[in-house]
Structure 1
């Protein structure tokens, strides 16, 4: 996800020389420097030392170690801190870093091509300028939505953060079924991908609810109705609801403390 965000900044035309990425893996550093032209380092302090904006793009399990090691720098710099870590609330970040200039975010994988969506949360005390700065970081990654309640971030994680995987699993099932009906693999894939793209586009540009669009496809006694009856009998919608609820519960249960080395990103 950190790479997706860096790519989004690059698409916005941000000066790559002002973007510093810290990562413990040499291969990742070389790849980012070669493809995006950003500055790279193995030292989080080097990235954060002169940066007014920090993006914490680490696993929640190592967040404690990363933040506590940067607390002294945060006290001096007073940066705007944007977190894309699941399950790590602002209160915990405030405890680790000692700053109230905090924004939580949850982008999703299509951010890599500028087609994602990011949920954002910040306390009401955060200035409008800081909110605008935080939101601008994600303009190259797609759309954004602001949340009024931090508790909603777990649901955003379950619906949007994990959501692309649900679509990929649907695509996988549709391709498998198409091949089982003797369609060539390349034909099956093209049919499935374009169908999903077109359906998503109709949802985006129209003002009709998904249920209404479904009704318009499913003529009485027709092929679509026969297929939907099978899905409904199998508990399609309740099953997906349970899956999203499981993802939400996991997002809430992720333990933030950790000891392993990890990286962070900052923009100077």
Structure 2
């Protein structure tokens, strides 16, 4: 893996997180180049990680075997057109971390017959505890898919989907998912304050409880449903709270929310493809 020269074109916060994760796992900084319009941000990346920096996307693309496209979705077409001729000559592996842009669309913008891996990381990747879904087109080799997989594992976990349509569900569950949990934390803290706790006490209890529950779920050998049953005594306080959630249709509401997010992902993909 570390024999490949890796370039991050449009190195924003997510690219910076991946760079940090790769270097922490032993990837050589001199094998990595970051490009960006902002010289200030590039200098910050260089100072922090000792990577190479450049403002020339085409020259960088010509000298690297793997290109991570990290610009915002609305800027992706322009970037692809900028590097298209270089990509057609050198045929690097393309890894996109942009939401909503299909592999077929990227392939067309890049001139066709390009190995592409789409990945949908989420914001906890900034802390090294991300969750990413990946999809590869038919041109990507097993070695190229393995590289992309290892790259995303440097900042969390990675899972593969067999059909690109599933990436909309990945976006809806893990890409947007942190916001669902933040909303739950916000609501629980507010409820605690309304029950008589101070803002700071309610905040500390809420956040630590969320952290503890997540760790229990990750580290346990049973599923979340069983963990829930174990902390729910018949006739107790937890049961009363859960009955209230169930009466309000919480499970069905989650299903509707994820379906709405996935549907919007499909809509955005169609808009970006135009």
Normalization by structure 2: what TM-score?
Answer: 0.87
Q: Counterpart of 2:160?
A: 146
CA distance in 2, matches of 1:67, 1:218: 53
Q: Counterpart of 1:81?
A: 94
Residue pairs, 1:208-247, within 5 angstroms = 208-247=222-261
Where do 4+ consecutive residues of structure 1 move more than 4 Å? none
Query: In terms of mean alpha carbon deviation, does 217-226 or 155-164 score higher?
Result: 217-226
Please tell me whether the aligned partners of residues 125 and 156 of structure 2 are also in contact (alpha carbons under 8 angstroms): yes
Please tell me whether the aligned partners of residues 93 and 140 of structure 2 are also in contact (alpha carbons under 8 angstroms): no
Match of 1:172 among 181, 186, 189: 186
Relative contact order (alpha carbons < 8 A, sep ≥ 6): 1 or 2 greater?
1
- Give how far 1:149 is off: 1.0
Residue pairs, 1:12-23, within 5 angstroms = 12-23=25-36
**Residues 45-88 of structure 1: CA distance to partner in whole angstroms, max 9, x if unpaired?**
23322110000112222211110111001011110001111111
**Residues 89-133 of structure 1: CA distance to partner in whole angstroms, max 9, x if unpaired?**
111111111233111111111111221121111134432211111
**Residues 24-50 of structure 1: CA distance to partner in whole angstroms, max 9, x if unpaired?**
233422332232222223332233221
Q: Does residue 214 of structure 2 align to residue 163 of structure 1?
A: no
CA distance in 2, matches of 1:220, 1:136: 45
- Give how far 1:178 is off: 1.8
- Give how far 1:15 is off: 2.0
Match of 1:94 among 99, 102, 107: 107
Residue pairs, 1:51-130, within 5 angstroms = 51-97=64-110, 98-130=112-144
Count residues with an aligned counterpart: 258
- Give how far 1:20 is off: 1.4
Please tell me whether the aligned partners of residues 116 and 139 of structure 2 are also in contact (alpha carbons under 8 angstroms): no
User: Any gaps of 5 or more consecutive residues in structure 1?
Assistant: 259-268
Please tell me whether the aligned partners of residues 105 and 119 of structure 1 are also in contact (alpha carbons under 8 angstroms): yes
Match of 1:186 among 189, 200, 206: 200
CA distance in 2, matches of 1:143, 1:221: 38
CA distance in 2, matches of 1:19, 1:44: 14
Q: Counterpart of 1:5?
A: 18
- Give how far 1:204 is off: 1.7
Query: In terms of mean alpha carbon deviation, does 132-141 or 121-130 score higher?
Result: 121-130
CA distance in 1, matches of 2:78, 2:151: 25
The 3-state SS of whatever aligns with 2:114 is coil
Normalization by structure 1: what TM-score?
Answer: 0.89
Please tell me whether the aligned partners of residues 53 and 81 of structure 1 are also in contact (alpha carbons under 8 angstroms): yes
User: Any gaps of 5 or more consecutive residues in structure 2?
Assistant: 1-13
C-alpha RMSD over aligned residues = 1.9
Please tell me whether the aligned partners of residues 60 and 257 of structure 1 are also in contact (alpha carbons under 8 angstroms): no
CA distance in 2, matches of 1:36, 1:193: 31
- Give how far 1:188 is off: 2.2
